[in-house]
Amino acid sequence: MNRSLEIAIAVCSWLCGIVLLGTVCTIIGYIAFNGLGTLKMQLLFGDINPLDALLLRKQVFDGLFPAIVGTLLLVILSVGIAIPIGMASGVYMAEYANDRVKKVFSLLFDILASVPSIVIGLFGFTLAVFLHKHFSENIYPSLFISSISLAFLVLPYIIRTTQIALENLPPKTRLAALALGATKLQNIIYVLIPKSLSGIISGVILAIGRCAEDTAVIMLTGVVASAGVPKSLLAQYEALPFYIYYISSQYRNTEELLSGYGASIILLVICTVLFFCAFMIQRGLTYRALYRA
């Protein structure tokens, strides 16, 4: 009976994996089939010379170059804000908080993780209105406000993965440096965090993907259809997720719709590159930690 149950679970697992893989391949294949033909310089830069656009000599208003730049800036700023706060919170939860504090904060983090992205967008919009009214009239929904909002959106991923990665380390690893006379802080910085980088980076990768694809938050906090490359953190900007949403809902002809598929391919490529960079950083830091050890 137990053997039959194990076989049934294995078969179901394989079937679920095949269905999931097949679905992903079908979606990506459909996007590639419709969008590969649109991947031309004109889609990226419009009628502007690519070199002039890359050197920011001329603004591109009929191509995807500003949206690509805006997406990259948005992801880098959001993850850059979220990583220090999320890792510090995860370290506190794993190494310093007692059981009662863990229960309270775990509940708060779970609530934050379950908040719909449109509510986070409303928070960002409210923050922009508050800052505009009480601090400076030059503050409006902008790239910086969107980055702060997305950082709140992805904080639970980084906090949880950091906490779990630290808590799952074997006792020998956790106690070796302490037994040799290291302080608790030294143990965390030089031993525990390097040893748990794989788990921490997985949370960073999830955060990158969520920042790159979210549309509801940025719609309320600064993204527009045509803004060019943002000149400052307090400027409005373009982003690929909003462009895809805008084109798919308001396209005027087949050519515009196909450009949305092209934008989807570019967004997938950007996410892949960012994931690869995160993986290489994690690999380099892990190798460095092992080399030091």
Q: How far apart are CA 244 and CA 264, in angstroms?
A: 7
Domain covering 41-292: architecture: Orthogonal Bundle (1.10)
Q: What is the Cβ-side half-sphere exposure of residue 281, based on CA atoms within 13 angstroms?
A: 12
> Residue ranges per domain, the chain?
1-38, 41-292
In degrees, rounded to 5, the angle at the alpha carbon of residue 74 between the alpha carbons of residues 68 and 80 is 135
Cβ distance 240 to 71 under 8 Å?
yes
**The pLDDT of residue 291:** 59
Structure pTM?
0.85
Cα–Cα distance, 79 to 195 (Å, whole number): 21
Task: Copy the structure tokens of residue 89.
Answer: 């919170």
Distance from the Cα of residue 82 to its chain's centroid: 10
Tokens for 37?
């033909």
d(CA 156, CA 245): 26
pLDDT in tens, the chain (293 residues): 577 778 888 889 899 989 999 998 999 899 888 888 888 888 888 888 888 888 888 888 888 888 999 999 999 999 999 999 999 999 999 888 888 888 898 888 888 888 888 899 999 999 899 988 888 778 888 899 999 999 999 999 899 899 988 888 888 888 887 787 878 888 888 888 888 887 888 888 888 888 888 888 888 888 888 878 888 888 889 899 999 988 888 888 888 888 889 899 998 888 888 888 877 877 776 666 555 55
